[in-house]
């Protein structure tokens, strides 16, 4: 009975496999990928020949883990699409990670390189064997003279030694190659344990009135893909426009490679939903503190708290972005192949050049567009916190670019300065970019200890503080420098603060921040002084007096 059950199961499996094999299959070609911030919409196509009546075709080269509700199938030539069913394909072995493919190719190259080494080794071993078999050529009475015999033995010794050396070198090459192959195989085994999204298949049922050839298009949305913005900000020199390069880091692990597809970057996120949020009534009630009961009063009245909950639906982001890329003058740039469409809720960047995005989950950098933005330059220093002056570019006319938050790589005069973040949600009319420290601007802040005094007046203590700031411009051009310092601010009526000298600065009353806007000529030095007094009750310690 057990053998009969096993036999029936085997026959059933064979029938299922046979039916799947007999079903017509057609490989889809991915034509376009609309990549959202999270997710992507793929458009694929294939030409099929349909018989009159109903036809079932299994389409392959389909992404895995797709949103089945998003599948749309179109057919030309009056063909009717009756049904479409998605199924995962765990049997495919075509998709491996990019790293695994590199390892696999390296192993194949090393294995191929062993063949000529083995062939040469066989020749050397044959020559050694031939010499060994004929080494007694002069051992018998063959009439060779002593001179001839000596010459023959010398030749044998030289040839035999040379062949042995060549054999040793070839065997060492094979040994090192095998060691390298073993290590690559170990790395390959580890790489194959990494999760790779399996691809899928879509079974479609068609109806055709008559035999015809039809162009099939299949669209669907996948989740394991997306893109994030990044920027290169370049300043060639002071008083020149800022060059802003918009880039996109695209990733996908959909189970299939995107080979030479038309890319469109979309600033939307279909996973956020489309319904606007709705408010529920917010009922007020008095807070009743919890009461403590002893164990003998376990049935006493306990506090009951009723919490009304509501779900919050997210709306599609209405942020839009612009893009850019930098190339040399008088050369075609990627901008010539990018069109921007921001007529709808979200912005699309349509890139006409085809791209290949591998299914490896890694970020693939795509350049989109470039812009030049007007900017003014200044130096900025806070000598209380840092002794260096920082060059800053203040950029305007960025509002129409519809930028998204992202990381920035900053370059000044062709040198990489560092990385920052662009948070457009908190920007105003002008956003400031720091281009790094300039050691040619010397800033020094000193506390004047001679003018510092501490006096006791009745029940109060009165302290006086004085500071000086000096700035020197060692550059060969005029500069504009913003200096910031501060006076303390009192929030206690018992602590009285009086400004003795603000050094000609503009003071923010609520914060005590002082700002100097200074113009310096080459090799010019300027000095500012400021001071204040603090009066407080004797016996008290006041914090933040620096």
Residue with tokens 């000193």: 446
Instruction: Find, among 58, 48, 53, the residue nearest to 23 by Cα.
Output: 58
Name the pLDDT band for 120 (thresholds 50, 70, 90). Answer: confident
| pLDDT higher at 312 or 98 | 98
- In which band, very low, low, confident or very high, does the pLDDT at 145 lie, cut at 50, 70 and 90? low
Distances (CA, A) of 175 to 170, 178, 187, 478: 9, 5, 19, 69
Q: Greater confidence, 327 or 192?
A: 192
User: By residue range, what is the domain housing residue 513?
Assistant: 441-537
Is 245 or 137 the better-scoring residue by pLDDT?
Answer: 245
**71 has a pLDDT exceeding 90:** yes
Length of the chain (residues): 546
Report if residue 8 sits inside a domain: no
Got the DSSP string for 489-536?
---STTSEEEEEE-TT-EE-TTT-EEEEEEEE-TT-EEEEEEEEEEEE
Q: How far apart are CA 21 and CA 12, in angstroms?
A: 14
CA distance 440 to 479: 11
- Crossing angle (nearest 10°) for helices 98-133 and 146-192: 160
Distances in whole angstroms, Cα of residue 518 to Cα of each of 50, 396, 504: 80, 22, 11
- What percentage of residues in the chain have a pLDDT greater than 90? 32
The pLDDT of residue 239 is above 50: yes
Other CB atoms within 10 A of residue 206 CB: 23
Q: Is 111 inside any structural domain?
A: yes
Identify whether 226 is part of a domain: no
Task: Give the number of other CB atoms < 10 A from CB of residue 272.
Answer: 15
The H-or-E segment that residue 398 falls in is: none
Query: With 90 as the cut, is the pLDDT of residue 332 above it?
Result: no
Q: In this structure, are residues 409 and 233 in contact, taking their beta carbons and an 8 Å threshold? A: yes
pLDDT band at 54, cuts 50/70/90? very high
Residue 168 lies in a domain: yes
pLDDT band at 306 (very low <50, low <70, confident <90, very high): very low
Predicted local distance difference test score (pLDDT) of residue 62? 93
The reply to whether 260 falls in a domain is no
Is position 515 within any domain?
Answer: yes
Higher pLDDT among residues 442 and 151, named by residue = 442
**What's the pLDDT tens digit per position in 499-528?**
888 888 998 888 889 999 999 999 999 999
Q: What is the CA radius of gyration of the chain?
A: 39
Question: What distance in Å separates the CA atoms of residue 262 and residue 350, rounded to the nearest whole number?
Answer: 8
Res. 435: pLDDT tops 60:
yes
Tell me which residue of 224, 226, 222, 244 sits closest to 235, measured CA to CA.
Answer: 244
- Per the structure, the count of domains in the chain is 2
Q: Is 473 within a domain?
A: yes
Answer yes or no: is 207 within a domain. no
Average pLDDT, the chain: 78
Strands 29-35 and 258-266: parallel
The enclosing domain of 487 has a CATH number of 2.60.40
């Amino acid at each position: 009975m057990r053998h009969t059950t096993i036999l029936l199961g085997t026959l059933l499996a064979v029938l299922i496999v046979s039916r799947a094999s007999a079903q017509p299959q057609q490989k889809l070609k991915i034509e376009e990928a609309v990549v959202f911030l999270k997710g992507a919409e793929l458009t694929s196509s294939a030409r099929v020949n349909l018989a009159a009546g109903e036809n079932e075709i299994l389409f392959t080269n389909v992404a895995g883990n797709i949103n089945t509700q998003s599948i749309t199938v179109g057919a030309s030539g009056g063909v009717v699409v009756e049904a479409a069913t998605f199924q995962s394909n765990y049997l495919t072995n075509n998709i491996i990670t990019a790293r695994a493919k590199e390892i696999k190719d390296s192993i194949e190259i090393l294995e191929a390189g062993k063949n000529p080494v083995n062939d040469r080794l066989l020749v050397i071993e044959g020559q050694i064997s031939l010499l060994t078999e004929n080494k007694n050529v002069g051992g018998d009475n063959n009439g060779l003279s002593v001179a001839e015999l000596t010459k023959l033995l010398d030749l044998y010794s030289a040839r035999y030694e040379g062949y042995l050396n060549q054999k040793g070198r070839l065997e060492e090459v094979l040994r090192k190659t095998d060691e390298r192959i073993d290590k690559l195989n170990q790395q390959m085994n580890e790489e194959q344990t990494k999760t790779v999204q399996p691809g899928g298949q879509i079974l479609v049922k068609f109806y055709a009135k008559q035999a015809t050839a039809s162009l099939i298009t299949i669209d669907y949305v996948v989740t394991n893909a997306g893109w994030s913005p990044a920027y290169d900000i370049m300043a060639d020199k002071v008083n020149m426009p800022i060059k802003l390069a918009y880039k996109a880091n695209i990733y996908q692990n959909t189970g299939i490679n995107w080979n030479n597809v038309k890319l469109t970057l979309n600033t939307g996120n279909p996973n956020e939903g489309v319904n606007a949020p709705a408010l529920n009534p917010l009922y007020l009630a008095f807070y009743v503190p919890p009461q403590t009961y002893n164990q003998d009063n376990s049935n006493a009245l306990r506090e009951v708290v009723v919490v009304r909950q509501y779900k919050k639906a997210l709306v599609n982001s209405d942020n839009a972005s612009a893009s850019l890329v930098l190339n040399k003058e008088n050369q075609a740039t990627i901008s010539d192949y990018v069109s921007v469409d921001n007529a709808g809720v979200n912005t699309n960047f349509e890139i006409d050049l085809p791209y290949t995005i591998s299914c490896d989950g890694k970020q693939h950098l795509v350049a989109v567009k470039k812009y030049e933005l007007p900017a003014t330059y200044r130096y900025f220093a806070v000598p209380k916190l840092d002794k260096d002056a920082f060059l800053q570019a203040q950029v305007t006319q960025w509002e129409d670019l519809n930028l998204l938050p992202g990381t920035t790589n900053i370059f000044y005069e062709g040198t990489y300065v560092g990385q920052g973040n662009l948070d457009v949600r908190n920007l105003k009319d002008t956003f400031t970019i720091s281009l790094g420290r300039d050691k040619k601007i010397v800033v020094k802040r000193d506390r004047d200890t001679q003018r510092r005094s501490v006096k006791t007046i009745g029940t109060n203590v009165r302290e006086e503080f004085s500071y000086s700031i000096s700035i020197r411009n060692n550059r060969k051009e005029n500069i504009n420098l913003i200096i910031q310092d501060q006076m303390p601010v009192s929030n206690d009526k018992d602590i009285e603060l009086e400004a003795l000298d603000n050094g000609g600065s503009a003071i923010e009353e609520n914060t005590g921040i002082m700002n100097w806007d200074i113009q310096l000529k080459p090799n010019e030095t300027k000095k500012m002084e400021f001071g204040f007094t603090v009066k407080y009750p004797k016996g008290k310690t006041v914090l933040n007096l620096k």
